[in-house]
Amino acid sequence: MNESSASLNRSRSLDRRDFLAATTAFTATAFADMTGLNVLANPAVAADLKKNQKRVIMLWLAGGASQLETWDPKPGASTGGPFRAIPTDVPGVHISELMPEMAKRMKHVCVLRGLDTKNGDHGSAAVTMMRGRRNEAGLKYPDLGAVVAREMGRADSKVPDYVTFYTQTEGRGMAPGDSGFLGARYAPMELTTNNTPEFIRKLDTISDLDHKTRSDLRDLLSKQFAKGRQSEVMGSHNEAYERVRGIMASETLFDISKEPQKVRDRYGPTQFGQQTLIARRLVEAGVPFVRVGRAWWDSHGQNFETHQEMVPELDYVMAALIDDLKDRGLLDDVMIVTLSEFGRTPSINASLGRDHFASAWSTTITGTGIKGGSVYGKTDDKGNKVVAEQVDAGSLFATIYSALGINPEKNYYVGSRPVPLVNPGVEAIEDVLA
């Protein structure tokens, strides 16, 4: 057993006795969800897990951001484009001059420059990059958000498990959050029109007191019905209603006017900045997974103008997020992932654009479980192919799971069929794990 998986087992061993005691106590109740979620209702165990609860903010750069104008610049090469590379706080590591703020914070970041994910089609590539593998005929995998929601979410949680922002129209239908075979329980709360989730606020036609008491009445009726009956689905139904009031109370998390002006200024006035600030508020309150989608990266024409406009926003917002999490002592428990469905071609087309490219592109992981300041993967001089430390979607996901303390070989069961979180044989990149 290597070191990282040993520590992984240590952190997950949360006292077998407590665990068993909690499980036994709970099989007696009507809602025995044996996935282990209910174990968390035991206060002692819950506290233990809460301490370690890892959370993820994914900055989803929809359409495909260019690695050459961000994390893997090739200044001077025929494919390099007009922008320079600048040194960073990590000796020897250079990134695009469009990211001066991130250049000061690379010691927290792990860059993977050797992604080769084989798929240059927006829709199916987005599906793959959100799951770490292709869906199989007859088996739809849960995406990263759903897995993290399932692994880190608490049954009695007062906040949503999985929130995804995707307010721009381009490509929105291509990678909706999707819990696959994990089903509705882990489906995301999706925000596509504004920054407040649907149905989170009570209607004006009912007073808050009545809203609460009718729900108590419901609870009473459901307890009468539960006598002599037992069912996991019924458990999930009651759990869902029990969470409603808590989630309604979390509406303020979506309201950035609650943040001091100083903090809001830090993230800037753009929608992407504001949503990222909401994401920070959410993970701080215990939401396990938040995705902030930012579209319009698909620069088939005018690649350099597009990136000149969009990369500084990413730079600014991501830097603000890192600082903010660090100031709050959250960077050890929160992971930031920047990801797209693919990167962009080194070759520059006739419209001065870059096209879809999945053979040699970059992603970053920041924060919990990762070796800050590390760079893994190397592309050739023009950026056409990976020459060392190649990474595919599967090992990227195994790495993310491992960094979060989730065993990538853990099985879910679809009927009798064991389905591991990553396909058999896929391994995490040990070199970048903390």
Partner 1 sequence: MRLLRLAFLMTLISSVSARAAERPLESLIDQRIDAKLAADKITPAGQADDATLIRRLTLDLVGRIPTVGESEAYLKSSEADKRAKLVDRLMASPAFDRYQAILFDAMLNSEPGRGRSGSVRDYLVQAMKDKKPWDVIFRELMLPGADEKTKSAGEFLRARVQDADKMTNDVSVAFFGVNVSCAQCHDHPLVKDWKQDHFFGMKSFLARTYDAGGQLAEREAGVVKFKPTKGPEKPAKLMFLTGAVVETDTLRDLTKDEQKKEKEAGDKKNKDAKAAPPKPKFSAREKLVEVALQPKEAEFFARNIVNRLWHRFLGTGLVNPLDQMHSENPASHPELLQELARDMAAHKYDIRRLIRGIVMSQTYARSSQYGSESRPEDKYFAVAKLRPLTPQQMGTSLKIATSDPKQYDGLKPEEFEKRIEQAESAGRGIASLIAQPTENFQIGVGEALLFSNGDRIAKEFLTDGGGSLLGSLKTAKEPAEAVNALVRTALARLATPDELNTLNAYFAERKDRAAEAYKQMLWALVTCPEFRFCH
**Contact with partner 1 (CB under 8 A): which of 132, 142, 160, 405?**
160
DSSP string of 226-284, one letter each residue: HTT---HHHHHHHHHHHHHHHHHHGGGGG-GGGS-HHHHHHH-SSHHHHHHHHHHHHHH
Task: Identify the residue whose tokens are 């950035």.
Answer: 256
Task: Identify the residue whose tokens are 């600082």.
Answer: 323
First-to-final CA distance of the chain: 16
The residue range among 94-102, 274-282, 338-346, 413-421 that interacts with partner 1, by the rule CB under 8 A, is 413-421
Q: Give least dist CB 243 to partner 1, A.
A: 5
**Contact with partner 1 (CB under 8 A): which of 38, 238, 362, 379?**
238
**Contact with partner 1 (CB under 8 A): which of 12, 104, 237, 258?**
237
**Contact with partner 1 (CB under 8 A): which of 6, 20, 139, 388?**
139
- Is residue 247 at the binding interface for partner 1, with CB under 8 A as the rule? yes
Q: Give least dist CB 212 to partner 1, A.
A: 11
Residues 170 to 229 in contact with partner 1, rule: CB under 8 A: 178, 181, 183-187, 189, 198-203, 205-206, 210-211, 213-215, 217-218, 220-222, 224-229
Q: Tally Cβ neighbours within 10 Å of residue 65.
A: 31
**Contact with partner 1 (CB under 8 A): which of 244, 256, 263, 330?**
244
Q: Give least dist CB 127 to partner 1, A.
A: 11
Q: Give least dist CB 138 to partner 1, A.
A: 5
Structure token digits, residue 356: 């879809």
Residues 18 to 47 in contact with partner 1, rule: CB under 8 A: 28, 33
Please write down the long-range contacts of 204-213, taking CB distance under 8 Å and 24 or more positions apart.
Answer: 212/245
Closer to partner 1 at the Cβ: 69 or 178? Answer: 178
Structure token digits, residue 302: 């005018």
Amino acid at 191: L
Structure token digits, residue 27: 């099989």
**Contact with partner 1 (CB under 8 A): which of 29, 76, 136, 387?**
136
The torsion region of residue 53 among left (phi > 0), alpha (psi -120 to 50) and beta comes to: beta
Q: Give least dist CB 293 to partner 1, A.
A: 18
With CB under 8 A, what is the number of residues at the site for partner 1?
59
Residue 120, phi then psi, degrees to nearest 5: -110, 20
- CB within 8 Å of 279: residues ≥ 6 apart: 57, 163, 165, 290, 292, 321
- Is residue 320 at the binding interface for partner 1, with CB under 8 A as the rule? no
Task: Identify the residue whose tokens are 């893997």.
Answer: 72
Q: Give least dist CB 102 to partner 1, A.
A: 36
The torsion region of residue 369 among left (phi > 0), alpha (psi -120 to 50) and beta comes to: left
Closer to partner 1 at the Cβ: 228 or 260? Answer: 228
- Is residue 233 at the binding interface for partner 1, with CB under 8 A as the rule? yes
C-beta separation of 296 from 55 below 8 A = no
Residues 90 to 129 in contact with partner 1, rule: CB under 8 A: none
Q: Please list the residues that pair with 60 across neighbouring strands.
A: 293, 339
Longest dimension (CA), the chain: 75
Closer to partner 1 at the Cβ: 102 or 152? Answer: 152
Is residue 192 packed enough to be buried (19+ CB in 10 Å), middle (13-18) or exposed (0-12)?
Answer: middle
Residues 253 to 272 in contact with partner 1, rule: CB under 8 A: none
Q: Give least dist CB 392 to partner 1, A.
A: 16
Q: Give least dist CB 227 to partner 1, A.
A: 7
C-beta separation of 30 from 235 below 8 A = yes
Q: Give least dist CB 152 to partner 1, A.
A: 16
C-beta separation of 319 from 364 below 8 A = no
- Report the C-alpha gap between 11 and 278 in whole angstroms: 29
- Report the C-alpha gap between 242 and 237 in whole angstroms: 9
Q: Give least dist CB 105 to partner 1, A.
A: 36
H helix or E strand, kind and range, residue 96 = strand 94-96
Per-residue binding string, partner 1, 361-400, x by CB under 8 A, is: ----------------------------------------
Closer to partner 1 at the Cβ: 260 or 424? Answer: 424
For partner 1, the binding residues (CB under 8 A) are 28, 33, 136-140, 160, 178, 181, 183-187, 189, 198-203, 205-206, 210-211, 213-215, 217-218, 220-222, 224-234, 236-238, 240-241, 243-244, 247-248, 413-417
